[in-house]
C-alpha cells in the first residue's frame, strides 16, 4: 500500500508520519517512510542542491527537473521494489507537491508536469493521500518558529496562496483518493482521524 502526505510547509506532516509509522510498527507491519525530495543517497544530494540559497536565480525548469530527478531515483530504487514486496510505503510528499508548488505556485505548465509525472512514476498513483490543511498564517508562523527559511520556503504570500488553492483544485479533481484533515486540530486527534481512515483499508 502506498500512502502519501501532502500539505504546505509547517502543516505537521512529519509528526503525523512518525506517529503512523510507530503505530504500524507496533502492529508488526514495518512500514517504510520516505521524504521527498530525498530517500536515497542521490536524492538526498539533490535535496541539498534544491534547498540551498544561491546568489543567482534558479531556473524554474531546472528546479522542476531536479525534483523529478530525485523522484525518479526514489521510485526506481525504493518505492516500486518495496510495493512489489507488498510493503507499506509512507511518503512525505509525492508528485502533487510538484503540481502544487511548481505548477500552481510558480507557473510551470501543468501538461509538462503531468507528462514528467507519468514517466517518472510509471503511472504509480497513491492508494490514499492525506492532506493536512493549514492556512497561510499558520504555515508561515510554523516555518518561522523552525528558524531560518530555506530557498524553497522563501516565497511571497501570493505564491503561497496559489499553492494552497492549487492543492484544493487537485483534491477536487480526485476526492476519492484524498483525505482532508484540519491541521489546526490537536496532534492526537489528527492521528486518530488518520488511523480511523486507514484501519478499514488495512487488514491489521
CB of 168 to ligand TMP, least distance (A): 17
Q: Which of 152, 179, 180, 202 binds ligand TMP (CB under 6 A)?
A: 152
CB of 199 to ligand TMP, least distance (A): 26
- Of 42 and 202, which has the nearer Cβ to ligand TMP? 42
Q: Are 88 and 41 in contact (CB under 8 A)?
A: no
Q: Does 67 bind ligand TMP (CB under 6 A)?
A: yes
Q: Does 5 bind ligand TMP (CB under 6 A)?
A: no
Which region, judged by CB under 6 A, interacts with ligand TMP, from 80-88, 94-102, 133-141, 187-195? Answer: 94-102
Q: Does 98 bind ligand TMP (CB under 6 A)?
A: yes
Helix, strand, coil abundance in the chain, percent, nearest 5: 55, 10, 30
- Of 101 and 178, which has the nearer Cβ to ligand TMP? 101
Query: H helices of 59-151, where?
Result: 60-74, 80-84, 95-97, 110-121, 136-145
Phi-psi region of 156 (alpha: psi -120 to 50; beta: other; left: phi over 0): beta
Number of Cβ atoms within 10 Å of the Cβ of 197: 14
Stated length of the chain = 204
- Of 8 and 24, which has the nearer Cβ to ligand TMP? 8
Amino acid at each position: 500500500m502506498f500512502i502519501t502526505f501532502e500539505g504546505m510547509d509547517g502543516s505537521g506532516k512529519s509528526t503525523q508520519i512518525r506517529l503512523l509509522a510507530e503505530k504500524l510498527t507496533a502492529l508488526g507491519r514495518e512500514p517504510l517512510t520516505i521524504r521527498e525530495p530525498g530517500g536515497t543517497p542521490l536524492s538526498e544530494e539533490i535535496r541539498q542542491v534544491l534547498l540551498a540559497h544561491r546568489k543567482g536565480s534558479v531556473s524554474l525548469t531546472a528546479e522542476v527537473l531536479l525534483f523529478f530527478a530525485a523522484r525518479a531515483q526514489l521510485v526506481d530504487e525504493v518505492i516500486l521494489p518495496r510495493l512489489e514486496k507488498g510493503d507499506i510505503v509512507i511518503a512525505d510528499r509525492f508528485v502533487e507537491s510538484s503540481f502544487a508548488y511548481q505548477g500552481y505556485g510558480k507557473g510551470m505548465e501543468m501538461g509538462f508536469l503531468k507528462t514528467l509525472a507519468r514517466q517518472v512514476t510509471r503511472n504509480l498513483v497513491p492508494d490514499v493521500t492525506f492532506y493536512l490543511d493549514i492556512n497561510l498564517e499558520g504555515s508561515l508562523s510554523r516555518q518561522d518558529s523552525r528558524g531560518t527559511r530555506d530557498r524553497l520556503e522563501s516565497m511571497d504570500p501570493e505564491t503561497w496562496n496559489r499553492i494552497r488553492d492549487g492543492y484544493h483544485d487537485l483534491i477536487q479533481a480526485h476526492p476519492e483518493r484524498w483525505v482532508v484533515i484540519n491541521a489546526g486540530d490537536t496532534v492526537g486527534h489528527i492521528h486518530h482521524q488518520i488511523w480511523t481512515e486507514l484501519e478499514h483499508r488495512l487488514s491489521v
